[in-house]
Chains A and B, each alone.
Chain A
Amino acid sequence: MPLHNLVPTLDPIPLPAPYWVFKLLLVVTFTLHIVAMNFMLGGMVLALAGRWSGSRERANRLFTDVATKLPSLLPATVTLGVAPLLFLQVIYGQFFYTSSVLIAWPWLLLLVMLTIAYYGLYYVSFRTHRRAGAGRGVLLASFLLIAAIGFLFTNNLTLSQTPSAWATKYFADPSGWNLNLSEPTLAPRYLHFFTAAVAVGGLLLMLLAYFKRESEADYRQYVFRFGGRAFEFATMAQFAVGFWFLLSLPRDQRMLFLGDNGLATMLLLAGIAGAVGAILVVARALRQDDYRSGAIGGTGITVLVILAMTVMRDILRDDYLKPHFHPERFVVQTQWTVLPLFLAVFIGGVVLWAVMLWRYPFTAAVKAEAPQPWAQRC
């Protein structure tokens, strides 16, 4: 069947800022999104896995501590995900809209799954608040839904960068019931993200232990050690998964990281070194019960590694799309009457956000001041 070149043409409306601005915003906001997602997903895994980590009572307490954070970590993930999705559509719309249409139903149902998972998290948070450890089954369901959502994202994003796979899928079934299961990198790529989430979930526990200064030492130590070990094991497993991912890439793309592209190769080495460094820092902190260096040091290094990985991911995408994607062809007409306004709102927003968090007495258990009238009623 003869077909046209299927890659859609660029939108006729010029880019409202230089290409690199969107690229930068995409990479930065995507990194933030992934960090939040890792905390959420990894937190879920470890809250559930905690059952096999020690006494039932401590496991229940850990479950409650994590489960009550999840209803805030999920919206953080979603909200921080909206921004990269926006900037992605500005520069990669041709590819992203197309792959989305090809898997339209799963892609749309993802939001139904997300809504159910989200309500599940609230349910668990309210229940476990009353009875520690209650709601495990629901959290497991929410976790499975969210893990499946991640899988759908991997499907869409891999499909968006392989236009050669489009035609057979679409013309076999234009009703949007497709996935990208034939993609060889699908499984290792997904697992690469998932394993990272478990590791970062470990960091979440270490951070919890670090900030929970009022808790008794025993419990703090348990949370810290459980998180630290999860981080170590997951990060070590990541070497195997990452290696599998690298091997699964087509030769041209694989070689980007093995010398063909200086930056990509350097970032891969830096990423590996960072991961090894983080394991060493955490291992040392575990030995010495040094909460501060384990939690803050481990997290700091890991965030940098994630940033490096995000840039690598971007280099990889652009290389996949090399035959079809020509950023130099973008017509740019910077909207100078709006861009400064955005920057002002953005900076103001970040400051206001920080003030909101700063003014909020997170560590206070109950109201410090005079009892409130509604306190007696509720």
Chain B
Amino acid sequence: MNYPVWDVTFGAGLLIAIVSILHVFVSHFAVGGGLFLVLTERKALRQNDTGVLSWLRTHTRFFVLVTVVYGAISGVGIWFTIGLIHPSATSSLIHAYVWGWAIEWVFFFIEITAALLYLYGWDKLTPRLHLWYGWIYFIAAFASLVIINGIITFMLTSEKWIQTHEFWAGFFNPTYFPSLAVRTAIALALAGIYALVTASRLKDPALKARLVKWSAAWILPSMAVMPVLVWWYIRQIPPELWNSARGAMPTASHYAVEAAVLAIVTFVLVLLTLVKPARLHLAYGLTIMLSALGTMGAFEFVREAVRKPFVIANYLYDNSLYATPSATDGGFSVEAIDQAGVLNTARWVRRLELGKGADVAAGREIFRVECQSCHTADSYRGIRRLLVARQWDAPALNAMLASLDLMHNGVMPPFAGTDAERGALSAYLATLYQAGPPPSDGQRLFEQNCATCHEAVPGDSAVTAIRALDAQTASDSLKNLPALFVRMPDLKLSEQQRVTLVQWIKTQVSAARNNASTFGGGRNRKEVAEDAVT
């Protein structure tokens, strides 16, 4: 809100995802493919395999056209895109890591020059000199990964940097090495996958078979070690971040499953090429590539989802508010805005006075500056659809917004602003849909009012408490939710609703105990909530 918010109708987050995923799919190829070129050339020279050398020459052209053109421009594309959608975060990354970026730029320059000389050098250079350019290319490309990996992982596991703001403290963070290992494995696998595609177009069956086997030898081992590397990676992610990725809104779990399934599909498809390597068809090669793209996309979605609600963990929220106030943050921290008000702090808003019939319009402005970096009204992460499912009326919305940061295991930033502004936001959100009559069955009541933070499973704190009480006492205790736990939303349930809800929770829990089936993973949300409070 220090910067203007760009209204992207279909969703700013989706735009970043598209640009980034297409870029990383090529940029990892640019790294692994470099090693592939030199090692394949060396092998072919040793074996005097003119067929492979001839193919490699064409493959180099393909490699340069994909990586030097699309790869380089789309890399700048990510930078442009995040600068437009998260200017504050981009500014943070530039200020904290400008020397990292500058070092990376030198490698980038070397990389591009070496790639072009390697391409044109097929016609002009001795094999020895040609390989020399190839090695320089690969080393520079890998060095780029070594640098960028430090900055990307810093965004997820930033702990030490938060205290010291020291370059290396953030750079060599807990996920640095596991991420580097995972990305290197991805790069090597992609080198083989792209090679399969160009090899599939060869006419000579024997040559094709040789290249398919050689490509598979790049893909299969790299993918085989991936589970171990990913496990190492996950172990380094702090539990509070990891927690937000699981449970009632399991975006990350969903994508993790997708990544795993697609990785297995890719692996099996590659394995199958070895059955009749001489007959690999282009369509089959492209299918493998698409499957790999899906895997990579899902992997990046997991990383993004785990990092929520932050864009830089524990430093900057997705909506560009600082997690902790500082003297130089311009008042753009949650704490400061709670005092001063978001409409008084954000620069790029219409200054509307609340309580003079402008609440809905003011609420819309607040939505724009506070929510729109992730949500849209109707498209990507469309808020209308989410709210239609919840059916909250304006007072319920207002109560829920007060505990926004506890919802779904803490996947969203807290609402920042005064109580009146929260009321205005609720008033605006309430105009997006028509809330129906309150439900009368227990399950719907639970889903609408409790499920954003609780699960109807034995381990859940609220469920445990309700089970321990008799029905009447439990129902009475729900009259004043903040008295149970200060951050609970102050929902006004009728007597009838409370009784029905308690009854349903009790039956649900015993059913769950009997057949051991649960809604989710049986985690204790109250603990998470308390962590968040403390």
> Which residues on A are within 8 Å of B, measured CB to CB?
1-17, 22, 25, 71-72, 75, 78-79, 82-83, 85-87, 89-90, 93, 97-98, 100-102, 104, 107-108, 110-111, 114-115, 118-119, 122, 166, 170-171, 174-176, 331, 333, 335, 337-339, 341-342, 345-346, 349, 352-353, 356-357, 359-361, 364, 366-367, 369, 372-374, 376-378
Contacts and interface: CB of A to CB of B under 8 A. Distances in A.
A78 B108 CA distance: 11
Contacts of B45: 373
29 contacts: A2-B351, A4-B347, A4-B348, A6-B4, A7-B347, A8-B2, A8-B3, A13-B92, A13-B96, A16-B99, A71-B116, A75-B72, A79-B72, A86-B105, A89-B83, A97-B83, A97-B87, A108-B84, A111-B73, A170-B4, A175-B7, A337-B168, A349-B109, A349-B110, A352-B136, A353-B110, A356-B136, A372-B127, A373-B48
Given A338-B99, A367-B123, A174 B107 contact: no
A108 B53 CA distance: 39
A17 B101 CA distance: 14
B136 A342 contact: no
A89 B91 contact: yes
A171 B165 contact: no
A114 B73 contact: yes
A62 to B, nearest CB: 20
B57 A374 contact: yes
Contacts of B347: 4-8
A97 B340 CA distance: 25
A101 B84 contact: yes
A136 B373 CA distance: 44
A345 B101 contact: no
A250 B451 CA distance: 61
Contacts of A341: 99, 103
B81 interface: yes
B90 A89 contact: yes
A86 B91 contact: no
Interface of A is mostly: helix
Interface stretch (B291-299, B321-329, B509-517): B321-329
Interface string B26-60: 00000000000000000001001011011011100
Contact of A377 (B54, B73, B112, B167): B54
A57 B457 CA distance: 83
Interface string B278-318: 00000000000000000000000000000000000000000
A222 B208 CA distance: 49
Contacts of A115: 69-70, 73-74
The residue among B45, B110, B166 with the most chain A CB atoms within 10 A of its own CB is B110
A357 B129 CA distance: 12
A79 to B, nearest CB: 5
Nearest to B52: A374
Contacts of A378: 54, 57-58, 122
B250 interface: no
A86 to B, nearest CB: 5
A377 B54 CA distance: 6
Given A86-B98, A174-B6, A345-B106, A12 B326 contact: yes
A78 B72 contact: yes
A148 to B, nearest CB: 15
Given A337-B167, A353-B109, 4 more contacts: A13-B96, A100-B83, A175-B6, A338-B100
Given A97-B83, A97-B91, A10 B328 contact: yes
Given A341-B99, A377-B53, A101 B94 contact: no
A105 to B, nearest CB: 9
Contacts of B332: 9
A100 B3 CA distance: 10
A4 B4 CA distance: 12
B348 A170 contact: yes
Interface in B219-278: none
B163 interface: no
B7 A174 contact: yes
B480 interface: no
Interface in B482-502: none
A79 B77 contact: no
Contacts of A174: 4-7, 368
Q: How large is the interface on B (under 10, 10 to 19, 20 to 34, 35 or more residues)?
A: 35 or more
A353 B113 contact: yes
B318 to A, nearest CB: 17
Contacts of B121: 360
Nearest to A75: B112
The residue among A8, A17, A102, A337 with the most chain B CB atoms within 10 A of its own CB is A8
A378 B55 CA distance: 9
Given A4-B347, A115-B70, A366 B84 contact: no
B38 to A, nearest CB: 15
A253 B307 CA distance: 47
A28 to B, nearest CB: 13
A351 B54 CA distance: 32
A261 B98 CA distance: 32
Nearest to B116: A72
A200 B100 CA distance: 33
A12 B329 contact: yes
Contact of A122 (B65, B72, B92, B113): B65
Contacts of B72: 75, 78-79
Contacts of B74: 111, 115
B84 A176 contact: yes
Contacts of B9: 175
Given A16-B98, A89-B90, A377-B53, A83 B105 contact: yes
Contacts of B80: 100, 107-108, 110-111
By Cβ-Cβ distance, the 6 closest A-B pairs, closest first, are A9-B330, A377-B54, A97-B87, A13-B95, A374-B53, A349-B106
B106 A346 contact: yes
Contact of B95 (A11, A25, A352, A361): A11
B352 to A, nearest CB: 9
Contact of A3 (B58, B94, B113, B351): B351
Nearest to A93: B91
B102 A86 contact: yes
A289 to B, nearest CB: 30
A7 B88 CA distance: 13
A108 B368 CA distance: 21
B210 interface: no
A90 B98 contact: yes
Contact of B68 (A75, A360, A369, A373): A75
